[in-house]
């Protein structure tokens, strides 16, 4: 069954939700109509560290239309602090006390009859602070370091052999430091929340990557039963991790709605989105690579430093990935968290892998030059089918197939290896490459499948459409498994009243969702088959039920065939409802119970413990750097990926391409600037926060390398949402070095760094 399902995938399908999206029929969180809503406007802290000593609210309260103002003085204790994310201590809080943890922290919420009145009232709120000098980032006085922890204990990190001695003895050595900047999400849909109470029942409309997680967390904060909370998030206008963590705003909007006895709607500003949700923190790295003269790695030491908030030790520890990239007998890793007066960081597309692979893949390029070896050949020499940390095989690993396909398409064999050797008029040309990778994750999931008397199917699950094509993935999977045209499958996602899916993070959604949908369809087939073979009057009497299958809208067996509606008439009411649950092999049995409790229970790697599972890819990049102005243009990109089964190659192509473009952004454009004195973000708008536009990406080609992975999970799905971004920053930096002879180790690469 699994093999057959794998074979069925692979036909490109346009998005089933495409028409709704382009006609405006798709409802995003703040599109949901509310009856007589009040509007909320946030007041955020103007200092990064200290205390609020008092508010002057008279003017704000007397503003026409203002209904109420929430501060810690009148609501502290009504919502408990949210549980911390990613291990570590307690999270930062808002409206709990007079304490200010970071610039831009929510310190008051003004509620009014109209948005304009709320905004005016908020502008009139006076705040008195006892401000202290904040620590902004690395090297700021007062920033405090500690080794990365997980649930309060030192985080176990990869370590193999004796890397220190091996490095000391290595014939060729690289010892360099790299850094990546702060980055903020800026999805087009803002971080909105609407809350409405109906007696004891709370409905939350909020773009989220974790509907059941949000429901459970807000219930816990408010001290109410999760059964009374419903979250609705039918479409999400950009997520990428920014909607993966519960933030403090949601519970306070629920509190506000309760106090007013009417629904409350919050649409924060773009700038507020920099401080009221999570972001990618700046990182630093020291990479030591030791190798033999033939290029084989003998030592790999990767130390990382990451910034977090004062009370929370959030960290991504991407050494888990870099330690596994290449065959190496001696590996040492370490991660240090540096606490500063900042909001708590969190997930952002390939959170660990994007910064850590920049360091490793830059260092690998430096090693290739030190060895006078082609950088692709260096990766070939160190390629491995065995995870060097665990000793287990990779479920599948097609890294070199990706490099070879991309290199052929790119014309890599024409590369002159010498830096500054290639040019076109006043433009220096550089060709660079890097490895891409991302772990394959899967979680438990549940789904409801209803086969209707007319031969159509309704599929319902609390899946997340974060732009990735989740509606289409579910529809395709059911259409394949039920032998129906995709138009005959209706999909409902985005409502916590439906059976739970794990949070849409870690690129698990296609694997988790398609697996449970396939299981529901198989259960439906089995029920129809067992009823059919027991029916003396039907065409399948005494057939082997296992031999009956669903195809072309029919139940079929050798020499027998019956339309689906006729087959359905043998079961209750001529319709069939299946509630399916799937616990992937390798996950503990209680993971399903945790899913219903809103806890994320992802399996990193694979459904088998004796195998390591990652998807792999290769980025090849051409840059042009102007001799005089040092303007940097990306002129050509070819990226190849092997990520197991692609449920829908059409949306997969877009995912890979979007990821690769974000990688270019990470290399050349993106950075949040922080004022070191005030610990305040400066470029908190889409004009000053640089991202690539079409003119920055003239030619980008994606090659999808076929890969059939029988070990990662029964459907062979590795996940594709995050791999596209990983390594691209290094590929560009390596190309810039090849063009100019200047090695940029601190992102982003900007013209001024090449002067
Ligand atoms: Mo992702 S950063 O797990 O949405």
Ligand 1 pocket test, pick from 86, 210, 238, 241 with the greatest ligand atom count within 8 Å of Cβ, gives 241
Complete DSSP assignment for 707-724: ---SSS-TT-B---TTGG
Rounded Cα distance, 70 and 81, in Å = 16
Measured from the Cβ of residue 227, the count of other Cβ atoms closer than 10 Å reads 10
Contact 252, 258 (CB under 8 A): no
With cut-offs at 50, 70 and 90, classify the pLDDT of residue 169: very high
Nearest atom within ligand 1 for CA of residue 721: 1
Classify strands 632-642 and 99-100 as parallel, antiparallel or unpaired. Answer: unpaired
Per-residue pLDDT tens for 396-414? 999 999 999 999 999 999 9
What average pLDDT does range 733-740 have in this prediction? 98
Contact 4, 231 (CB under 8 A): no
pLDDT of residue 601: 72
pLDDT of residue 600: 72
Per-residue pLDDT tens for 219-237? 999 999 999 999 999 999 9
How far does residue 86's CA lie from ligand 1's centre (Å)? 13
The vertex-317 CA angle with 313 and 319, nearest 5°, equals 160
What average pLDDT does range 303-314 have in this prediction? 94
pLDDT of residue 233: 97
Rounded Cα distance, 429 and 427, in Å = 6
Nearest atom within ligand 1 for CA of residue 350: 2
Rounded Cα distance, 728 and 355, in Å = 10
Contact 138, 305 (CB under 8 A): yes
Per-residue pLDDT tens for 528-587? 999 999 999 999 999 999 999 999 999 999 999 999 999 999 988 888 999 999 999 888
Nearest atom within ligand 1 for CA of residue 466: 4
pLDDT of residue 1: 43
Check pLDDT > 90 for residue 623.
yes
Nearest atom within ligand 1 for CA of residue 347: 2
- Secondary structure class of 133 (helix, strand, coil): coil
The vertex-224 CA angle with 223 and 226, nearest 5°, equals 125
How far does residue 504's CA lie from ligand 1's centre (Å)? 7
Check pLDDT > 50 for residue 88.
no
pLDDT of residue 737: 98
How far does residue 162's CA lie from ligand 1's centre (Å)? 34
Decide if 722 is catalytic: yes
pLDDT of residue 719: 95
Going by C-alpha positions, the residue among 387, 414, 353, 396 that lies closest to residue 705 is 396
pLDDT of residue 87: 44
Looking at the chain, the whole-number percentage of residues with pLDDT higher than 70 is 97
Residues with CB under 6 A from ligand 1: 209, 239-241, 244, 347-349, 351, 505-506
With cut-offs at 50, 70 and 90, classify the pLDDT of residue 669: very high
Going by C-alpha positions, the residue among 579, 619, 494 that lies closest to residue 233 is 494
What average pLDDT does range 433-443 have in this prediction? 96
How far does residue 536's CA lie from ligand 1's centre (Å)? 53
Rounded Cα distance, 94 and 751, in Å = 40
Per-residue pLDDT tens for 350-374? 999 999 999 999 999 999 999 999 9
pLDDT of residue 85: 56
Contact 346, 85 (CB under 8 A): yes
Ligand 1 pocket test, pick from 236, 240, 463, 512 with the greatest ligand atom count within 8 Å of Cβ, gives 240
Rounded Cα distance, 46 and 601, in Å = 38
How far does residue 347's CA lie from ligand 1's centre (Å)? 5
Average pLDDT value over all residues in the chain: 95
Check pLDDT > 70 for residue 685.
yes
Closest C-alpha to ligand 1, atom 4: 241
Check pLDDT > 70 for residue 2.
no
Going by C-alpha positions, the residue among 249, 248, 269 that lies closest to residue 119 is 269
pLDDT of residue 89: 46
Rounded Cα distance, 29 and 232, in Å = 7
Going by C-alpha positions, the residue among 482, 472, 474, 460 that lies closest to residue 526 is 482
Contacts of 361 (CB under 8 A, 6+ apart): 434, 435, 727, 730, 731, 734
């Amino acid at each position: 069954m699994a093999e057959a399902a794998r074979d069925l995938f692979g036909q490109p399908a346009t998005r089933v939700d495409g028409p709704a999206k382009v006609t405006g029929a798709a409802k995003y969180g703040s599109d949901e109509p509310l009856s007589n809503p009040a509007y909320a406007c946030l007041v955020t802290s103007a200092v990064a560290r200290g205390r609020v000593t008092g508010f002057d609210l008279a003017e704000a309260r007397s503003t026409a239309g203002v209904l109420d103002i929430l501060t810690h003085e009148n609501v502290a204790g009504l919502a408990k602090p949210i549980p911390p994310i990613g291990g570590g201590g307690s999270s930062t809080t808002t409206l709990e006390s007079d304490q200010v943890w970071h610039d831009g922290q929510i310190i008051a919420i003004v509620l009014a009859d109209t948005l304009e009145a709320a905004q005016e009232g908020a502008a009139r709120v006076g705040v008195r602070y006892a401000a202290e000098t904040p620590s902004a980032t690395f090297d700021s006085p007062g920033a405090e370091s500690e080794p990365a922890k997980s649930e309060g204990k030192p985080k176990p990190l990869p370590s193999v052999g004796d890397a220190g001695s091996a490095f000391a003895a290595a014939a060729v050595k690289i010892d360099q430091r790299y850094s990546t900047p702060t980055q903020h999400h800026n999805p087009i849909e803002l971080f909105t929340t609407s809350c409405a109470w109906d007696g004891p029942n709370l409905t939350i409309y909020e773009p989220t990557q974790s509907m059941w997680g949000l429901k459970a967390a807000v219930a816990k904060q408010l001290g109410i039963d999760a059964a009374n909370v419903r979250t609705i998030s039918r479409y999400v206008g950009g997520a990428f991790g920014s909607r993966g963590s519960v933030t403090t705003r949601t519970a306070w909007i629920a509190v506000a709605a309760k106090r007013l006895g009417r629904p409350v709607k919050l649409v924060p500003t773009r700038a507020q989105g920099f401080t009221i949700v999570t972001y990618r923190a700046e990182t630093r790295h020291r990479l030591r690579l030791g190798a033999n003269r033939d290029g084989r790695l003998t030592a790999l030491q990767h130390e990382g430093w990451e910034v977090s908030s004062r009370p929370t030790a959030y960290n991504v520890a991407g050494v888990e990935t870099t330690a596994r990239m290449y065959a190496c007998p001696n590996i040492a890793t370490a991660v240090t968290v540096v606490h500063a007066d900042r909001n708590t960081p969190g997930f952002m597309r390939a959170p660990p892998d994007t910064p850590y692979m920049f360091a490793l893949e830059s260092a690998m390029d430096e090693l290739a030059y030190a060895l006078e070896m082609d950088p692709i050949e260096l990766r070939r020499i160190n390629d491995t089918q065995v995870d060097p940390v665990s000793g287990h095989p990779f479920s599948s690993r097609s890294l070199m197939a990706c490099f070879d396909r991309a290199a052929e398409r790119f014309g890599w064999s024409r590369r002159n290896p010498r830096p500054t050797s290639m040019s076109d008029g006043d433009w220096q040309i550089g060709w660079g490459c890097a490895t891409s990778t991302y772990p394959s994750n899967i979680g438990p999931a549940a789904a409801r499948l209803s086969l209707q008397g007319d031969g159509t199917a309704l599929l319902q699950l609390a899946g997340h459409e974060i732009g990735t094509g989740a509606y289409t993935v579910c529809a395709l999977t059911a259409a394949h498994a039920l032998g129906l045209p995709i138009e005959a499958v209706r999909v409902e996602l985005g409502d916590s009243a439906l059976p739970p899916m794990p949070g849409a993070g870690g690129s698990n959604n296609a694997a988790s969702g398609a697996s449970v949908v396939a299981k529901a369809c198989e259960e439906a087939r089995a029920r129809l088959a067992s009823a059919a073979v027991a029916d003396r009057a039907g065409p399948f009497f005494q057939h082997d039920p296992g031999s009956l299958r669903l195809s072309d809208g029919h139940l079929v067996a050798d020499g027998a065939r019956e339309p689906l509606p006729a087959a359905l008439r043998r079961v209750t009411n001529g319709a069939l409802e299946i509630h399916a649950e799937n616990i992937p092999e390798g996950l503990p049995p209680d993971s399903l119970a945790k899913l219903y409790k809103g806890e994320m229970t992802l399996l990193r790697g694979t459904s088998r413990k004796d195998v390591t599972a990652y998807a792999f890819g290769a980025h090849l990049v051409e840059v042009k750097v102007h001799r005089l102005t040092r303007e940097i243009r990306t002129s050509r990109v070819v990226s190849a990926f092997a990520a197991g089964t692609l449920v829908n190659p059409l949306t997969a192509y877009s995912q890979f391409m979007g990821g690769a473009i974000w990688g270019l952004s990470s290399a050349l454009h993106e950075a949040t600037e922080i004022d070191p004195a005030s610990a305040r973000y400066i470029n908190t708008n889409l004009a000053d926060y640089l991202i690539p536009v079409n003119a920055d990406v003239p030619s980008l080609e994606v090659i999808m390398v076929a890969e059939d992975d029988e070990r990662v999970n029964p459907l062979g799905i590795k996940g594709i949402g995050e791999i596209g971004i990983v390594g691209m920053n290094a590929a560009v930096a390596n190309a810039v070095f090849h063009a100019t002879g200047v090695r940029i180790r601190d992102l982003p690469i900007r013209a001024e760094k090449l002067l």
